[in-house]
């Protein structure tokens, strides 16, 4: 199938825009490749330090040229998605020994759960944790004694941070090994109903706790299609997972077989063999375009509008939100997974999952078919499903028709002709909106604003019965420079209640929303942010604002707003406590949301 002209034109302009920075990055990677691992060049003392605790692998490391695999792990048992990683290092070491290699845990990486920190002070460290993860993973690989790496990570900031680090060591091959989603528990829509009833005071905390525990009940990723599962989708579309690996549940024979094969594959792609495939060759401009198409086709998390920009920048590739918007215009919405529908990711996977979707998009010319991946050259590898037959792992042709059209549809019969993301521009600045779960009648809201400086004030106003009539709730001073750009997902239940009462309601913020954001229109990531004196800092209660996801506009209709001085906020309460004092450097140096909200290169 011929490549769609918009896919080609967007890719071409990214290549042109990125030419100087991409060339400099690749030159750096080729130089690192030419030097190779420092293992053989280390002093005897240096090697002794590196191998001292390697047990049965010590002689192989010291005396032979067998490949050495670095394991970068984000294991902790505070994150259900990461708890299964506890046993991965021993599985990986045994796997590579069987092919004559060695493996060492290069280092551990911090990983926090946004589900725990929603609405809490810790959420103000969340976005910055991505860059901390990138730094920590780089320290893990800094000994430069590895021929390849595997990265163990799943959740919101963790995968983007690991990808940034993988690109810093882009001369090495790398395979990302997921843990998979937990088995389905209480349906996500039932859980959401209980949350709304609790917000309205209709049920007590005991009912809320019971519902949450029934939904989040075991090892694995949360089953809704939020940022964590969007990350997993991207790793397949961009070629860093094994085909079909994303949504196989933890602690199953197939999951273990994929982990073992992934470890062997990583070492097999090293420069010691004849299939050398470094990360810098996999993550090119075409791979990022494929990832953006996947993001739109699945109605994925808005967080990736920030993370993909930062991830690309680490490889010298410059993305902007117009790229996302233009690709959204030609990408059909093929999936309905909660919060965009009632199904969870396990249902999506059973209906045909990513393999079916990639096959459909390839046939429609909406993906670059010839990218390099950890499974070989060509994205067609990712139309096949992993199977465990008589104990042996193999890949079989995936389904050519959806097994549940209520969840997953072909391109020709998609749920919507365009993707789930919109870029909004206008007199208030630039913002983005996830519209895949927003009903058409709610995609345009023109109403007076109520302005707040934090989400607790919104909750207080709601409880006091102040949010009556049509209203656009503006929550400002939530950008990366102000307080680390926390997610405001805890506002979703109360805004949903207002919408359910028949009010026209929208959220406008320079902060973030979770990948679980749903049916209430939310214009988020507003740039410039309030702390930079953006127009959002000049709004006052009662100003008329229009949020229009159809036209892609964000307009102030009240005269004289831009003549006002920018409001100031007392941010002293956001500067210390729960570790926030240690992140002042991040707040002072971070770039804008539309440039990735990263400390790396502004």
Domains identified in the chain and CATH numbers:
5-183+218-397 (no CATH), 421-595 (3.50.30.80)
Give residue 223's pLDDT: 87
Residues 160, 154: Cα–Cα separation, whole Å: 9
Give, as one character, the DSSP assignment of residue 441: G
Helix 227-237 / helix 304-313 crossing angle, nearest 10 deg: 40
**pTM confidence score:** 0.93
Residues 328, 7: Cα–Cα separation, whole Å: 10
The pair of three-digit structure tokens given for residue 265, joined into one six-digit string = 């594959």
**Known binding-site residue numbers for [4Fe-4S] cluster:** 155, 222
State mean pLDDT over 397-403.
93
What element of type H or E holds 541? none
Give residue 203's pLDDT: 83
Name the average pLDDT for the chain. 92
42 — pLDDT class (breaks 50, 70, 90): confident
pLDDT over 90 (residue 291): yes
Give residue 54's pLDDT: 84
Residues 510, 531: Cα–Cα separation, whole Å: 10
In the numeric block, the tokens 């770039």 are attached to 591
Share of the chain above pLDDT 70, in %: 98
What's the burial of 425, exposed, middle or buried (CB within 10 Å: 0-12/13-18/19+)? middle
The pair of three-digit structure tokens given for residue 362, joined into one six-digit string = 């390839």
602 — pLDDT class (breaks 50, 70, 90): low
Interval 51-60: pLDDT, tens: 878 888 887 8
Give residue 117's pLDDT: 81
**Known binding-site residue numbers:** 155, 222
Continuous H helices in 364-469: 455-463
How many helices (H) and strands (E) the chain has is answered by: 21, 16
State mean pLDDT over 345-370.
96
pLDDT over 70 (residue 132): yes
pLDDT over 60 (residue 392): yes
126 phi and psi, to 5 degrees? -60, -55
pLDDT over 80 (residue 390): yes
Give, as one character, the DSSP assignment of residue 11: H
pLDDT over 90 (residue 595): yes
pLDDT over 60 (residue 516): no
Give residue 116's pLDDT: 81
Interval 149-196: pLDDT, tens: 999 999 999 999 999 999 999 999 999 999 999 887 777 778 778 877
Is the bond preceding 44 in cis, omega lying within 30 degrees of 0? no
Integer angstrom CA distances of residue 512 from 25, 188, 431, 473? 30, 21, 10, 14
State mean pLDDT over 575-588.
91
pLDDT over 80 (residue 40): no
515 — pLDDT class (breaks 50, 70, 90): low
Helix 285-298 / helix 304-313 crossing angle, nearest 10 deg: 170
Share of the chain above pLDDT 90, in %: 74
Give, as one character, the DSSP assignment of residue 181: B
358 — pLDDT class (breaks 50, 70, 90): very high
State mean pLDDT over 285-304.
95
């Amino acid at each position: 199938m011929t490549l769609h002209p918009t896919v080609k034109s967007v890719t071409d302009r990214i290549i042109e825009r990125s030419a100087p920075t991409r060339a400099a990055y690749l030159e750096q990677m080729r130089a690192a490749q030419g030097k190779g691992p420092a293992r053989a060049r280390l002093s005897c003392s240096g090697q002794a330090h590196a191998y001292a605790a390697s047990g049965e692998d010590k002689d192989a490391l010291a005396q032979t040229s067998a490949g050495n695999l670095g394991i970068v792990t984000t294991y902790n048992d505070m994150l259900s998605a990461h708890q299964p990683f506890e046993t991965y290092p021993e599985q990986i070491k045994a796997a590579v020994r069987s092919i004559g290699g060695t493996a060492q845990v290069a280092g551990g990486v911090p990983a926090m759960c946004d589900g725990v920190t929603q609405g809490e002070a810790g959420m103000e460290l969340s976005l910055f944790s991505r860059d901390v993860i990138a730094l920590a993973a780089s320290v893990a690989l800094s000994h430069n004694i590895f021929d390849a790496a595997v990265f163990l990570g799943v959740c919101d900031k963790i995968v983007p941070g690991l990808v940034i680090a993988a690109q810093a060591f882009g001369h090495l091959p790398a395979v990302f090994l997921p843990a998979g989603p937990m088995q389905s528990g209480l349906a996500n829509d039932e859980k959401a109903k209980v949350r709304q009833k609790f917000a309205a005071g209709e049920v007590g905390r005991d009912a809320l706790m019971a519902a949450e525990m029934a939904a989040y009940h075991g090892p694995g990723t949360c089953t809704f299609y939020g940022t964590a599962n969007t990350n997993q989708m991207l790793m397949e579309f961009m070629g860093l997972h094994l085909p079909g690996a994303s949504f196989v549940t933890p602690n199953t024979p197939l999951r273990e077989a994929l982990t073992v094969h992934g470890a062997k594959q990583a070492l097999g792609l090293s420069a010691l063999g004849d299939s050398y495939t470094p990360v810098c060759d996999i993550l090119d401009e075409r791979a990022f375009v494929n990832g953006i198409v996947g993001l739109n086709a699945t109605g994925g998390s808005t967080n990736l509008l920030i993370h993909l920009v930062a991830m690309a920048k680490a490889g010298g590739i410059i993305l902007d939100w117009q790229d996302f918007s233009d690709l959204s215009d030609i990408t059909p919405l093929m999936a309905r997974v909660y919060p965009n529908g009632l199904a969870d990711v396990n249902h999506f996977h059973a209906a045909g999952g990513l393999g079916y979707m990639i096959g459909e998009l390839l046939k429609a010319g909406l993906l670059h078919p010839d990218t390099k991946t950890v499974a070989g050259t060509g994205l067609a590898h990712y139309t096949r499903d992993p199977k465990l037959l008589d104990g042996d792992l193999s890949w079989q042709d995936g389904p050519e028709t959806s097994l549940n059209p209520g969840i997953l549809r072909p391109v020709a019969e998609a749920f919507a002709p365009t993707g789930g993301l919109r870029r909004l521009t206008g007199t208030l600045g630039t913002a983005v909106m996830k519209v895949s779960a927003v009903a058409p009648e709610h995609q345009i809201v023109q109403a007076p604003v109520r302005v707040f400086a934090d989400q607790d004030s919104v909750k207080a106003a709601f409880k006091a019965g102040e949010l009556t009539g049509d209203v656009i709730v503006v929550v400002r001073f939530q950008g990366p420079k102000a307080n680390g750009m926390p997610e405001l997902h805890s506002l979703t239940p109360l805004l949903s209640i207002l919408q359910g009462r028949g009010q026209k309601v929208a959220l406008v913020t320079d902060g973030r929303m979770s990948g679980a954001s749903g049916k209430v229109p939310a214009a988020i990531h507003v740039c410039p942010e309030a702390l930079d004196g953006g127009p959002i800092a000049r709004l006052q209660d009662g100003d008329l604002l229009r949020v229009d996801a159809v036209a892609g506009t964000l307009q102030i209709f009240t005269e004289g707003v831009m003549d006002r001085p920018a409001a100031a906020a007392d941010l002293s309460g956001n500067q210390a406590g729960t570790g926030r004092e240690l992140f002042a450097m991040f707040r002072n140096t971070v770039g804008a949301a539309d440039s990735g909200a990263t400390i790396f290169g502004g």
